[in-house]
Amino acid sequence: MTRRIQSVKTDKTRRGGSFEVPLPGVFAMCEYIVQHDVAEGFEALLAATQNQSIGSAIAVAGSSLHRTCEPQDSQHVIKPNMQVDAIRSRNGVLECIKVRWGWKPFWSMGTMPPMTHLPLHLVMRSKVFDRVKRDGRMLIAVDGWYEACESEQSKNNHRLSYTTSRQSAPIFLAALAQASEQFNGCDGLTLVTHDDSATKQQRLLAFTAEDARVWLRPDLQWEQAQELAMHMALAEPQLEHVLASPRSLRGR
């Protein structure tokens, strides 16, 4: 369901340091995000760690965030460069903000398209990401996502696979974001991917509500983040896939 990273681009910062970033178009881990009312995901995240309801702090939708089949409501399908609801922690308090899906760090302006995905191992070993990995860790509560289907039958016929959880609960995608108090052209969010030992491919770093809060801990070390990806990320047995046609997403 995913494409291998074939190569990376080595570039230099203004200070002379080097870093590696994925080449544009090398892999399309997720083409669309499906996000229903973020309130339920917000509540699930709080309930998992505090074992209590958030009461009147935020309105909770009456319908479930989870859908057992491909969603039909176009307003919930989010594409790159669109706004997505993200959850972050500030001084121990969770808050929701809107961020553009697609990050444009200053050193990539004019040379690369916005980053929609970023492999965890590149983030961990490059100092150029120090600030965003310290201050910009966020979670995206989603119902599921669309990605390219790589089956033999689909090589000559572009198909999408809709991925969702087998459980009636939201999925939390790990993300990194730059979100300034006053919006600037660099602001945006990128989804984090990790190496899946079972498939030897990159996949989205996704969690249940019970495990997702660890991603937001201010004292999280990046060696711990790697362990988090290896042992707490959602694995294939916990996910369900539904084949979909790109035609069904046209005009959304």
18 inside domain: no
9 vs 47: CA distance, rounded Å: 42
What is the structure's pLDDT at 251?
54
Q: Residue 12 has which token pair?
A: 């230099």
Number of domains observed in the structure of the chain: 1
174 vs 30: CA distance, rounded Å: 13
185 inside domain: yes
CATH of the domain at 197: 3.90.1680.10
90 inside domain: yes
13 inside domain: no
The range of the structural domain enclosing residue 113 comes to 31-249
Residues 152, 162 contacting (CB under 8 angstroms):
no
What is the structure's pLDDT at 216?
92
9 inside domain: no
89 inside domain: yes
208 inside domain: yes
* pLDDT per residue of the chain (252 residues) written in tens, 0 to 9: 334 333 345 455 444 445 555 444 344 478 999 998 777 787 888 777 665 333 333 333 333 333 344 555 556 899 999 999 999 998 888 899 999 999 999 888 778 899 999 999 888 888 889 889 888 999 999 999 998 876 544 456 668 889 999 888 899 999 999 998 888 889 999 999 998 776 667 899 999 998 998 999 888 887 888 899 999 999 888 888 888 766 666 555
What is the structure's pLDDT at 50?
66
65 vs 161: CA distance, rounded Å: 19
